Amino acid sequence: MSNLLQNKNALILGLANRWSLAYYIARAFQREGANLTLTYQGERQRQTVEELGQELGAQRVVACDVTQQQELDQLAEILRAEGEKLDTVVHSIAFANREDLARPFSQTSRDGFLLAHEVSTYSLLAVARTVAPAMTEGGSIMTLTYLGSTRVLTNYNVMGVAKAGLEASVRYLASELGACNIRVNAISAGPVKTASARGIKDFSKILDHVSEVAPLKRNCDPAEVADTAVFLASDLGRGVTGNILFVDAGYHIMAY
Ligand code: NAD
């Protein structure tokens, strides 16, 4: 441990299980000495996240479904009541209906489009608004995105459009919150087998293609995504804001 995050308080949203990118990030943050608060989405996740929180030595585990304004308000209240400064926030949340990821993009339902954008894009603003008052000494907010925001990837569909909005939101938030010394960035991770990724039809074909074509001739390791999150959360990243950082074994530079 090099204690890059010692004395830093971190809030991590989007840890559902041991495969979640947020779990790898939480583990890396713990290794670097951060104090962790984790959130869970709904009662169904509660026990698992509490158990993982215990394993990770998290200070607290709180409910936060980002579509429920009252849960965001409760989160703000908890942060206010604790009176601690918050240094880092990881937004690792996305959702789209499975059928909207399988049918042709032009057939995306209105409700499915709005739901994907509410959970995957709008929630970054909602979370930023919730946490900013607790970031009294500045800090770092980060989200997770994917190459489908700028390139057409088979079966990524509405999620690609949501990620485009998410990345634009990163830039607008970075511009606005910079005055409070709050940095806002996104990590564009390569494909990793997680519960969300399983919702994308033929996901294993994407993994095979990346390992053949990427400059490093392999897929990215979620621990590499987590170490980049440590960098962004730490003082090493103090000059970095409004960026989309690719952690994808270099795949994004290739033309095929
Ligand atoms: P995951 O399924 O483990 O995580 C997704 C999380 O979103 C879950 O914890 C889920 O509970 C949460 N979530 C969904 N709806 C929510 C709501 N209404 N309120 C609160 N939380 C909600 O999968 P993951 O792959 O770790 O995904 C994390 C992030 O990483 C997502 O933004 C995803 O798009 C992004 N990402 C994933 C990959 C990949 O290949 N796995 C690649 C690039 C980016």
Active site residue 122: no
Task: Output the CA angle 123-176-161, nearest 5 degrees.
Answer: 40
* Whole-number pLDDT of residue 84: 86
Candidates 23, 24, 40, 146; catalytic one? 146
Separation of alpha carbons 201 and 206, rounded Å:
10
DSSP alpha helix (H) spans, 32-156: 43-55, 69-82, 110-117, 123-131
Measured N-to-C along each axis, helices 123-131 and 69-82 cross at an angle, to the nearest 10 degrees, of 20
110 domain residue, yes or no: yes
3 domain residue, yes or no: no
**3 CA distance to ligand 1 centroid (A)?**
27
* Whole-number pLDDT of residue 87: 98
Among 49-58, 127-136, 192-201, 228-237, which stretch is predicted with the lowest mean pLDDT?
192-201
User: Which of 64, 90, 91, 92 has the most ligand 1 atoms within 8 A of CB, as the residue to mutate?
Assistant: 92
Separation of alpha carbons 149 and 246, rounded Å:
12
CATH number, domain containing residue 87: 3.40.50.720
pTM of the model: 0.98
How many residues would you count in the chain? 256
Residue 2 banded pLDDT, cuts 50, 70, 90: confident
255 domain residue, yes or no: no
For 26-39, write each residue's pLDDT tens digit: 999 999 999 999 99
1 domain residue, yes or no: no
Q: What is the mean pLDDT of the chain?
A: 96
Q: 152 exposed, middle or buried (CB, 10 Å; 0-12, 13-18, 19+)? A: exposed
For 204-221, write each residue's pLDDT tens digit: 999 999 999 999 999 999
For 219-251, write each residue's pLDDT tens digit: 999 999 999 999 999 999 999 999 999 999 999
* Whole-number pLDDT of residue 201: 84
Tokens found for residue 122: 């709008």
Separation of alpha carbons 52 and 47, rounded Å:
9
Separation of alpha carbons 38 and 25, rounded Å:
11
* Whole-number pLDDT of residue 82: 82
Tell whether ligand 1 has an atom less than 6 A from the beta carbon of residue 245. no
254 domain residue, yes or no: no
The pLDDT > 70 percentage for the chain reads 100
34 domain residue, yes or no: yes
Most confident of 45-54, 101-110, 197-206: 45-54
For 68-93, write each residue's pLDDT tens digit: 999 999 999 999 888 889 999 999 99
Q: Print the domain residue range for 47.
A: 9-248
* Whole-number pLDDT of residue 1: 60
Q: Which residues of 113-137 are buried (b: 16+ CB within 10 A; e: fewer)?
A: bebbbebbbbbbebbbebbbebbee
Say whether pLDDT at 52 is over 90.
yes
Residue 199 banded pLDDT, cuts 50, 70, 90: confident
71 domain residue, yes or no: yes
Cβ 105 vs Cβ 153: under 8 Å: no
The DSSP 8-state label assigned to residue 251 in this structure reads: G
**211 CA distance to ligand 1 centroid (A)?**
22
Nearest CA to ligand 1 atom 35: 144
**17 CA distance to ligand 1 centroid (A)?**
10
Number of domains present in the structure of the chain: 1
Tell whether ligand 1 has an atom less than 6 A from the beta carbon of residue 41. yes
214 domain residue, yes or no: yes
